Structure 1
């Protein structure tokens, strides 16, 4: 069973000002109600009895954003969240006095940086806190984990002492595991960069006491609606992912890849890696492409390593090189036919879909990626059969391609973000990023 929840990709630009900030929480609450209880009368679920201070308002808004992200339903509130973050960023840039509140400052730093805003850790350098204030210490510790370079000494120092103090609090409070202390324990044991977001969402839905944040003062009905929406999204996405996997499983059988005795069947592995990272429901084509090409590259790798004779491998390589001259196709064996047909049909099908998304023909680029892969794999075969021992530089240069991330990662880029122009594809930076990615992957296994 895959535990995945979808999120949104669009973030409309919306302005914000001090006077409007208290109403944003009401807007969020209304949206929760609309999504989870569309048949009920639309009304604002919560409106503070007293107008909060600006610092309290920003803290409350960021806390709500945090809750929505924790249970995986922030995609329903993209415009409101963008407005809150823009408003918070404007205060961050002004070094406004509201940022002297430790918890607000740390939460703002983490949330802004995690959402792509350019914020410096220097903003955390002059804060002071009550060393027994668990919430502030926890926010400081979480903020310290979003370092973007090796020389952010401020974050290293904050992470070290806040983590130490939090561990001391856990030791002295073993008998009373409150929701807050359980959250502290989880954050210390499982840094966010080691966890899949979808699994975190599942955990937070199951342990919904994360919503117990005093400053939010959410109504019981709002809590129920938030939970209902989280569960609904989780269930819907589960159904979609299972349908996609069933489609892929049928594709393996129709392509006869399951008949190849030498081939590892890695479809589930590749689909899970796609669904756990490219989780928005609208990225279906990217997930399918990733999984198909992952399964195909595994089959091709096994064919070159153990399954095919040199004649078969030369035949397959030649067929891929002669992509446009299929009337001259001659298969050395049934194995070659199965492997080549699966590559040819899948690349053309996915290339057509990617071309529609990009507004230009990109199938040729996908073909070139496969051609380069097979050429380099054939080079390794020639080294092996000829008894040639390559230099380390020769091996690494060739292995960057034969690690086979090219057909998996590069075509998926056409489905996951802004349009990619031909000039971007031929830019040296594009090739260098791919080289670095493949080098890191190669040496990690």
Structure 2
């Protein structure tokens, strides 16, 4: 960390006789007199350990015969609170407030770091030096003053933590792609420190949790075993130091738990208690920092369902370049809170909005040219399909990938509604036969106008995509696309067969084909060829790709089932909940079983997406599978509601991606 990387409050060296000192003293005394009442109010944001340190300062002032404008009643209350606080465990971080009553030898023996500090806190280390004359404490303070040009920071060193925060901030603001080389160098250095168990990471719980999360999602090999000490709530709060007992640390542990892979019981336990704790804090209205409260609310509700560009916009809107953090005192770090970051991200977002609007107009022309606007029944899915696509495939240069993905979503929706809601059995099988033959001749006859519109739109779009893939990758995928569409339509037709003969499969039988009926394979295979990299055609037949496709499709299918089983029960449509209740299983048990299956397939897929060892699929391609699942989490949340068919909660977020101007 360079000294100019922090803005510290400095006190100039002025002679004691100076009138300026006298003036400042009066200002300070006036502040104490005006605000002293707040010292005993627990509903105010206060520095860490304030109830111990401030009364100690008052006592020291009394020993110096200084007169402070504090009432005797307030002083008694402060001292009583202090006496109560110092009886609690793990207060060594604020030991400067304990004075000579502290067992400084034990504190130094237990908590002194290799750099000579106690908790990387200059204040605690200085107090230890006063009371114990420890040489290492002196060396730490001396080196810190030299590095910081005689400024005294709240915490030092803290460069690894600030670098992690910068990586996280740039990703949240949606501009990390412009700094790929620099951010990768930072993460490489963080990983080296992780492997060496660097004290800056492993003695700071917040830093460790953030490092684990960011390294894991970037494909570094990090083990959740390093978070084992924090998987029990009671042990966590009974053993950790006071500076890590706040909401910020628990929130970082919660975020770390959300990147768990299949079978990681440590992260499952951390997730269980952190999510419960944060929900309780919201219910009790215990989070005094309103900005932090909003962040907790959003993370708890939307962690898996936050589409990239939706999250970017929200981060931009709540970003405050003047925001400060509070430990023993307030401090601000420009590598975390920086006006250049916000200005750059705002400009980038506005440029993106302009391009998305142009692309949506092009999509509308395609929709009309295909005749899909003449379909009188079914969902009008054009805008929703394009906007969610823009929200996950965000980079401006990926226009072809965005357009092809959005077109696939529209066609799947139109064909699904036709097979499921208003098309006849004869019409459905006519479309399937046309796809099977795949040759549209002038003399081709159609059994209805809807069949002609749907097949013609599918035929022209698939052929157009196949041509672009050939130009981009050098091989033909038309036969693969036709096969996938035919397989999808065949699985659509199975639902119609069920309605006609009431042949209800078991859950295992249903799942063996149901994952193929959600269209995730097409939603990945079509745009993946336009992500800006050369792909081997053999990649699409490997076991890794097939497994990714199945797990992602299962997540999407099961989330859809959870939110539509009431409606589909009335329509006599197959569903993973319905096939269980048909065999006498209670609705509650059936829902729980499906939720467990969602978690199973999600964690299996996450493992494959995050792990790089032994993988032959580029990281950007694997991430597309997870982004497709994000769409499913967004449209089909656990708490119910089909946000694709009738968007209510997400309509504001979707409009914000393209239409609503930023207010910054």
Task: Verify same fold: TM over 0.5.
Answer: yes
Task: Tell me how far 1:256 sits from its aligned partner.
Answer: 1.1
Unpaired segments ≥5 residues, structure 2? 7-146, 231-238, 326-330, 562-664
Q: 2:379, 2:282 → 1: CA distance?
A: 49
List aligned pairs for 1:160-309, cutoff 5 A: 160=273, 164=277, 177=289, 179=291, 181-182=292-293, 185-186=296-297, 189-190=300-301, 192-209=303-320, 212-213=323-324, 217-218=333-334, 223-309=338-424
Task: Tell me how far 1:168 sits from its aligned partner.
Answer: 6.0
Q: 2:187, 2:338 → 1: CA distance?
A: 23
Counterpart check, 1:332 vs 2:444: no
Note if contact 1:205-1:231 (Cα within 8 Å) is conserved in structure 2. yes
* 1:70/1:429 CA distance change after superposition, 3 Å: closer
Q: 1:309, 1:183 → 2: CA distance?
A: 49
Note if contact 1:110-1:142 (Cα within 8 Å) is conserved in structure 2. yes
* 1:173/1:50 CA distance change after superposition, 3 Å: farther
User: Residue 159 of structure 2 corresponds to which residue in structure 1?
Assistant: 57
* 1:152/1:22 CA distance change after superposition, 3 Å: farther
Task: Tell me how far 1:266 sits from its aligned partner.
Answer: 1.3
Counterpart check, 1:81 vs 2:193: no
Task: Tell me how far 1:84 sits from its aligned partner.
Answer: 0.4
Task: Tell me how far 1:360 sits from its aligned partner.
Answer: 1.4
Deviates further, 65-74 or 403-412: 403-412
The TM-score normalised by the length of structure 2 is: 0.53
Task: Tell me how far 1:119 sits from its aligned partner.
Answer: 1.0
Counterpart check, 1:389 vs 2:503: yes
Aligned length: 400
Unpaired segments ≥5 residues, structure 1? 1-20, 27-47
* 1:261/1:90 CA distance change after superposition, 3 Å: same
List aligned pairs for 1:37-56, cutoff 5 A: 55-56=157-158
Task: Tell me how far 1:62 sits from its aligned partner.
Answer: 1.6
C-alpha RMSD over aligned residues: 3.8
Note if contact 1:141-1:162 (Cα within 8 Å) is conserved in structure 2. yes
User: Residue 212 of structure 2 corresponds to which residue in structure 1?
Assistant: 109
Note if contact 2:420-2:495 (Cα within 8 Å) is conserved in structure 1. no
Q: 1:376, 1:257 → 2: CA distance?
A: 22
Q: 2:466, 2:482 → 1: CA distance?
A: 9
Note if contact 2:251-2:278 (Cα within 8 Å) is conserved in structure 1. no
Note if contact 2:309-2:390 (Cα within 8 Å) is conserved in structure 1. no
Q: 2:353, 2:435 → 1: CA distance?
A: 37
Of residues 466, 475, 489, the one that matches 1:351 is 466
* SS of structure 1 residue aligned to 2:338: helix
Task: Tell me how far 1:172 sits from its aligned partner.
Answer: 8.5
Q: 1:211, 1:170 → 2: CA distance?
A: 29
Q: 1:394, 1:172 → 2: CA distance?
A: 47
Q: 1:294, 1:158 → 2: CA distance?
A: 33
1:5-33 superposed Cα distances (whole Å, 9 cap, x missing partner): xxxxxxxxxxxxxxxx869x89xxxxxxx
Q: 1:55, 1:166 → 2: CA distance?
A: 33
Deviates further, 410-419 or 241-250: 410-419
* 1:152/1:282 CA distance change after superposition, 3 Å: farther
Task: Tell me how far 1:86 sits from its aligned partner.
Answer: 0.2
Counterpart check, 1:147 vs 2:244: no
Note if contact 1:166-1:184 (Cα within 8 Å) is conserved in structure 2. no
The TM-score normalised by the length of structure 1 is: 0.76
Note if contact 1:64-1:216 (Cα within 8 Å) is conserved in structure 2. no
Note if contact 1:110-1:146 (Cα within 8 Å) is conserved in structure 2. yes
* 1:427/1:141 CA distance change after superposition, 3 Å: closer
Larger radius of gyration: 2
Note if contact 1:67-1:211 (Cα within 8 Å) is conserved in structure 2. no
Note if contact 2:375-2:450 (Cα within 8 Å) is conserved in structure 1. yes
1:330-374 superposed Cα distances (whole Å, 9 cap, x missing partner): 333333221111011101111212223323111221111122233
Deviates further, 396-405 or 155-164: 155-164
* 1:89/1:285 CA distance change after superposition, 3 Å: same
Counterpart check, 1:410 vs 2:525: yes
